[in-house]
Amino acid sequence: MSLFLKQLGWELFRMFARKRTYIGFGVFVAVELVIYTLLTLDRSERNMERWIERVAGGFDHYFSALTLAFMIVAFTMLLLGAVFVSLVTGDIVAKETEDGNLRLLLVRPVSRFRLLLVKFLACQLYAIALFWFVGLTAFLVGLTERGWGGGMFVWTPELPRVSIFEWNEGLFRYFLAVTAFVIAYLPITGIAFALSCLKIKPAAATIVTIAYILADSILSKIPLPIFEDYQHWFITPKMQSWALLLYQDIPWPRVLESWMWLVGFGVTGFVVGWVIFERRDVKS
Amino acid sequence: MLTASGLKKRFDRKAPPALDDVSFAVDEGEIYGLLGHNGAGKSTALGIMLGMVYPDAGEIVIGGKSVQREREAALSQVGAIFEAPAFYEYLSGWQNLKVLTAFSGGVDRATMEEVVEWVGLTRRIRHRVGTYSHGMRQRLALAQALLPKPKVLILDEPTDGLDPEGIVEFREQLFELREQSGVTILLSSHLLAEVEQVCDRVAILQAGRKVYEGGTRGLGGEGQLHRIEVESDADREKTRALAAAHSAVPGPGDDLFVLPPDADAATFLAELVKAGVRVKQFVRLESTLEDLYLEVSQIRRERGPESKSPSA
């Protein structure tokens, strides 16, 4: 076990030693700042004020650092989350195979399963770091603008109505939702990883993953009877499970059901990738 | 120490096989060369040895462990450079070694420093690999292959791209390694001079088949290699009979004969003429590895792909 952790540690060290990693993080910060700017424009604030006053009352109380951070995170993840996660995971095997780095690892006395497991888990830990980074930076932006304290006002299309929390509960829910992004994005890491194990260009793994997620998202929203019987096969609605954690009363059975689907999808992606890679000849 | 038996591999059903029934054995402490032009099957053979390529048939056994059935146990005895070594450019040489050796169970700092010093990289080991020259990358590749200390070294075109000074240094390092730790070395190359100077024995691969296995002193070994071209089949029969009487052995081609080291070639030629053999050509061949390689390649081409592999 300690050897496995050591291997995982070095894999993470390698991932975080890349300049590209920080460029990616920088892009997230840039997008967060753009969204923050848009949300704090006079017109946007006036609209928010009207809405909060009508639904919850007390704009100054509920338009807090947490509310602002939540909106920044939700929009940023919508814009960049899937792209960035599929980019990192799609690269993990395909790019290293293409560059030849993997050849140096595969001549070592280590099974392909173990090597892939180390890489897959490193991707998950990387995703946790990224989501927490996004969550923390958005929170810091919110704190800078609105200061500590107040309530939290939340609404997403997945919620039946708005949720309102006081500061401590809101803080807990906010970071719980941010952490839950890891499970929500497991299908993306699973698909990108499986594709990455094929003999294809790294960019192809990323593009196909994004195309799949996009198609799934569009098809799941088409209100045609033809899709009614297949609704449970669409994965993107289940990826919104992070928002369920922001319900006034968390619907745990629904959350757990979604998580099981998401974990199942992610693990299936890993197993498919492993089976593909296990049978492959690795040679330029 | 390393045995390859009946290796067969075809990457594409429509293409000719990359390897076709190739077998050889490398003894403990031996330096063994796999020779062949590009596409001859050398890298495929090495890939199978390292568990990177799955053979259609055949098996590699290293130190009593089958690579195909007990991959990890077999490869725990092996250090390797397979194809062009590609390191993580943004990491230092030291960090690369740490990442790689973590997958071999880890290596203590003292051993790593010792190997780094031995390959002559101490001064630059903390620098980013992206700033390394080709020669330094090859040194780093050798260092990673030696960590942890292997019983068998498998090196794919190890001097590829090195300058003459680097090649000489590398050769000396291989000899030193064998002398100091008795390591068995198998290397592939298309550089005949290099193989001739380094290897004890070679196998020549051509179009996926082994066409020669033996010493590096050439087809004649210690004897005198002659090309004797005669007029007809009857003359060839007479030549063979007379050659046998002179303890000469036929080479891999119809016209090649190896006379014993102390044989008098002039007397043999005189006896051929006296026996009525119409001799068109009687030439002593300088038997370097290059001659051997070209000769064997020529024979192979003339005989076509179905011919049996000559062995020395």
Cβ of residue A105 closer than 8 Å to a chain B Cβ = yes
Question: Is 80 exceeded by the pLDDT of residue B76?
Answer: yes
Q: Note the pLDDT of residue A159.
A: 67
CB contact (8 A) between residue A19 and residue B86: no
Q: Note the pLDDT of residue B291.
A: 67
Question: Is 90 exceeded by the pLDDT of residue B49?
Answer: yes
Question: Is 80 exceeded by the pLDDT of residue B210?
Answer: yes
CB contact (8 A) between residue B52 and residue A281: yes
User: Do A59 and A150 touch, CB atoms closer than 8 A?
Assistant: no
Cβ of residue B91 closer than 8 Å to a chain A Cβ = yes
Write the residue in B52, B71, B103 that is nearest to A7 by C-beta. Answer: B103
Cβ of residue B12 closer than 8 Å to a chain A Cβ = no
> How far apart (Å, rounded) are the C-alpha atoms in residues B29 and B70?
23
- Chain B nearest-CA distance from A66, in A, is 38
For residues B21-42, give the mean pLDDT.
90
> How far apart (Å, rounded) are the C-alpha atoms in residues B215 and B204?
11
State phi, psi for B189 to the nearest 5 degrees: -165, 160
> How far apart (Å, rounded) are the C-alpha atoms in residues A229 and B238?
88
Q: Note the pLDDT of residue B35.
A: 87
- Per-residue pLDDT tens for A2-49? 889 999 999 999 999 988 888 889 999 999 999 999 988 888 888 888
- Per-residue pLDDT tens for A173-215? 999 999 999 899 999 999 999 999 999 898 999 999 999 999 9
User: Who contacts B25 (Cβ-Cβ below 8 Å, separation ≥6)?
Assistant: B2, B3, B4
For residues B166-175, give the mean pLDDT.
87
Q: Note the pLDDT of residue A197.
A: 94
List A residues 219-238 in contact with B (Cβ-Cβ < 8 A): none
Write the residue in A10, A99, A283 that is nearest to B43 by C-beta. Answer: A283
Strand, coil or helix: B131: helix
- Chain B nearest-CA distance from A200, in A, is 17
3-state DSSP helix/strand/coil percent for chain A, to nearest 5? 80, 5, 20
Write the residue in A17, A99, A109 that is nearest to B86 by C-beta. Answer: A99
Element containing residue B309 per DSSP (H, E): none
Tokens of A81: 């989350």
Question: Is 90 exceeded by the pLDDT of residue B37?
Answer: no
List B residues 29-68 in contact with A (Cβ-Cβ < 8 A): 43-44, 47, 50-54
| Mean per-residue pLDDT over chain B, rounded | 85
CB contact (8 A) between residue B100 and residue A108: yes
Q: Note the pLDDT of residue A72.
A: 93
For the ranges A48-62, B74-88, B127-141, the lowest mean pLDDT is seen at: A48-62
Write the residue in B71, B72, B90 that is nearest to A17 by C-beta. Answer: B90
Question: Is 90 exceeded by the pLDDT of residue B224?
Answer: no
Best to test chain B binding among A19, A116, A283 (most B CBs inside 10 Å) = A283
CB contact (8 A) between residue B51 and residue A106: yes
Q: How confident is the model at residue B44 (pLDDT cuts 50, 70, 90)?
A: very high
- Chain B nearest-CA distance from A95, in A, is 12
Per-residue HEC secondary structure of A93-154 comes to HHHHHHHCHHHHHHCCCCCHHHHHHHHHHHHHHHHHHHHHHHHHHHHHHHHHHHCCCCEEEE
- Per-residue pLDDT tens for A208-261? 999 999 999 888 888 878 777 777 888 998 998 888 898 888 899 999 999 999
Cβ of residue A252 closer than 8 Å to a chain B Cβ = no
Q: Note the pLDDT of residue A61.
A: 86
Q: How confident is the model at residue B298 (pLDDT cuts 50, 70, 90)?
A: low
Other C-beta atoms within 10 Å of B212: how many? 23
Q: How confident is the model at residue B307 (pLDDT cuts 50, 70, 90)?
A: very low
Cβ of residue B76 closer than 8 Å to a chain A Cβ = yes
CB contact (8 A) between residue B95 and residue A17: yes
Of chain A, the percentage scoring pLDDT greater than 70 comes to 99
Question: Is 70 exceeded by the pLDDT of residue B299?
Answer: no
Cβ of residue B82 closer than 8 Å to a chain A Cβ = yes
- Per-residue pLDDT tens for B112-150? 999 999 988 999 999 999 999 988 999 999 999 999 889
User: Do A102 and A96 touch, CB atoms closer than 8 A?
Assistant: yes
Q: Note the pLDDT of residue B312.
A: 33
- Chain A nearest-CA distance from B198, in A, is 24
> How far apart (Å, rounded) are the C-alpha atoms in residues A132 and A126?
10
CB contact (8 A) between residue B72 and residue A282: no
Q: How confident is the model at residue A54 (pLDDT cuts 50, 70, 90)?
A: confident
Cβ of residue B69 closer than 8 Å to a chain A Cβ = no
CA B175 to chain CA centroid, Å, is 16
- Chain A nearest-CA distance from B213, in A, is 25
Write the residue in A11, A106, A115 that is nearest to B52 by C-beta. Answer: A106
Question: Is 60 exceeded by the pLDDT of residue B302?
Answer: no
CB contact (8 A) between residue B104 and residue A10: no
Tokens of A86: 């599929």
Virtual torsion, Cα B41, B44, B50, B51, nearest 10 deg: -140
- Tell me if the pTM is above 0.95: no
Chain A residues with CB inside 8 Å of B44's CB? 283
- Chain A nearest-CA distance from B251, in A, is 36
For residues A128-148, give the mean pLDDT.
92
User: Do A127 and A192 touch, CB atoms closer than 8 A?
Assistant: no
Question: Is 90 exceeded by the pLDDT of residue A146?
Answer: no
Chain B residues with CB inside 8 Å of A99's CB? 86
- Chain B nearest-CA distance from A181, in A, is 29
For residues B73-84, give the mean pLDDT.
91
For the ranges A75-89, A97-111, A125-139, A154-168, the lowest mean pLDDT is seen at: A154-168
CB contact (8 A) between residue A107 and residue B75: yes
For residues A95-102, give the mean pLDDT.
90
The Cα-based distances of B278 to A133, B128, B250 in angstroms read 90, 69, 18
